[in-house]
Amino acid sequence: EVQLVESGGGLVQPGGSLRLSCAASGFTFSSYSMNWVRQAPGKGLEWVSYISSSSSTIYYADSVKGRFTISRDNAKNSLYLQMNSLRDEDTAVYYCAREEWSGLYYFDYWGQGTLVTVSS
Residue ranges binding other proteins (CB under 8 A)? 35, 37, 44-47, 50, 59, 61-62, 95, 102-108, 110-113
Question: What is the smallest separation between the CB atom of 119 and other proteins, expressed in angstroms?
Answer: 21
CB-wise, 80 or 95, nearer to other proteins? 95
- Least Cβ distance, residue 62 to other proteins (angstroms): 7
Question: 13 vs 48, which CB is nearer to other proteins?
Answer: 48
- Of 1 and 62, which CB lies nearer to other proteins in the complex structure? 62
SS (H, E, C) the chain: CCEEEEECCEEECCCCCEEEEEEEECCCHHHCCEEEEEECCCCCEEEEEEECCCCCCEEECCCCCCCEEEEEECCCCEEEEEECCCCHHHCEEEEEEEEEECCCEEEEEECCCEEEEECC
User: What is the closest distance, in whole angstroms, from the C-beta atom of residue 75 to other proteins in the complex?
Assistant: 26
